[in-house]
Homo-oligomer: A and B are copies of this chain.
Amino acid sequence: MKNSKYILSVALFATSLLLSNCQPQTQPEGQENPQAELDIEDTKVIKQLFDEALTTRETYQLLDHLCNQIGTRLSGSEGAAQAVDWTEKVMSDYGFDKVYKQDLFVPNWKRGDKEVAKILGSQDELTVLALGMSVATPEEGLTAPVVQVQGLEDVKEMGREAIEGKIVFYNRPTDQRLIRTGAAYGGAVDQRVTGPAVAAQYGAVAVVIRSVGTAYDDVPHTGTTLYMDSIPKIPAAALGFQSADRLAKALEQNPDTQLFLKMNCQTLEDAPSHNVIGELTGTEFPDQIITIGGHLDSWDVGQGAHDDGAGCMQSIQVLRLFQKLGIQPKHTIRAVMFMNEENGTRGGKKYAELAEKNNEQHLIALESDAGAFTPRGFGVTAEDSTLTKFQSWLPHFDQNTIGYIKKGGGGVDIGPLHQTLGTPTIGFMPDSQRMFDVHHSANDVFSSVHPRELELGTASMAGFIYLIDKYGL
């Protein structure tokens, strides 16, 4: 009895194992998008691209070097210069048909010493990062009462009487309800981008903001703030989420709470820098260019792993995968490491300027600047007919990689090309859940990148570009 029951139990257990979610034997490998019939040869090539990326993990190896050997790459920094030299060398060593740089000048902002933010009369030191391009406080720091607001409108409504001489504290949280965290980020970032300029209009002496992001830790997130020429520039900084909560609580207990803020950041003269470009020359249409890019610069905290070392290494690897598999593109395909996305977009503008000046023909441009996370889809800014054509290719992709191709998408660096030449643009859209936990913060490091997720991004981009090159728009 015992024996036969046990054997039955084993058999049932084995059967139930086969029924689980994780069993491949009963299911085809992967989950194909259910649609039209397509050239099976293309599906094969795209599978090869995925296989190669997932097994060699060359994107991951390059990103490791960029993050751990070079590190942060703020425009004008030593790291940015090293990254320019190194990516040029990497692409030269791969033997791409052309590798070259575009010269430009970039803003040259320096954070200076570690910033200090303290609630007066308290031992509580808040975590803080100066916003990019912020001016310094006076050398000895600055102390002022704090007025908490939920947004720009509050400042305008409260007016000069309430704001003058104060530190304005923008404390509206990033909305956790939105599924695409990029949308949540976009809904909160006005506090950072224009909050300081608006507060200055009403006489504020400084601004602190609740970091824009989705985490609940105490790591502050930096990012550019934009001053206006006609208005005084005031120091501006981001607090960690928990620090923002502590400041809010202090204000609740004592509305006269004062904050001490000290930072000695400065903006030097514009510095020389470069976009770095690698090309595979097209066999049929060498004068028609497909751009794939990310931005090589990063903020000066963390390692710029997701933002946007990943996009740069992926762009190089798209060409590398073509090369390895012997795919000779019909159009010229460029991997572009754009400089200075974070605080000026000078690289993107220079690229567009030269494209126009040199009468270049640009078929389309794709940017990866939304993180190294597992792919979800592509967003496309192009004619409806192009969008429809692209969508017909979905069955080539496992639904767990590219699940949709939607209308609308691009990137900061390829925006100027779109504006100047009308070039259609594509934005790679990875899963967004983790991006704004780390974005612009000390947590944007290589160890937070998952090798398979990163490589699935590379292969998705390569597969999509392969189809565009072969079939056009």
Give residues in A with beta carbon < 8 Å to B.
Answer: 3, 6-7, 9-10, 12-17, 19-27, 29-31, 33, 50-51, 54-55, 176-187, 193, 214, 216, 224, 226, 228-229, 344-345, 348-349, 367, 369-370, 374, 376-377, 379, 398-401, 403-404, 406, 408-413, 415-416, 418-419, 425, 427-429, 431-434, 437, 450-453, 456
Contact = CB atoms under 8 A, between A and B. Distances in A.
Interchain residue pairs A-B with the least CB separation, the first 4? A24-B183, A22-B182, A403-B403, A24-B186
A202 B25 CA distance: 26
B411 A399 contact: no
Contact of A434 (B17, B30, B427, B450): B450
B16 A412 contact: yes
A147 to B, nearest CB: 26
Nearest to A3: B229
So how many copies of this chain end up in the complex? 2
A461 to B, nearest CB: 14
Contact of A24 (B6, B182, B374, B428): B182
Nearest to A452: B433
Given A12-B345, A178-B24, A178-B30, A412 B19 contact: yes
Nearest to A425: B19
Contacts of A12: 345, 349, 416, 419
Given A6-B229, A55-B177, A19 B406 contact: no
A21 B377 CA distance: 12
Contacts of A451: 216
B376 A399 contact: yes
Given A176-B55, A214-B452, A229-B6, A377 B31 contact: yes
B345 A23 contact: no
A16 B416 contact: yes
B403 A376 contact: yes
Nearest to A427: B21
B182 A23 contact: yes
B369 A54 contact: no
Nearest to A346: B9
Given A370-B21, A403-B399, A9 B344 contact: yes
Nearest to A397: B179
Nearest to A19: B415
A45 B367 CA distance: 35
Contacts of A27: 183, 408
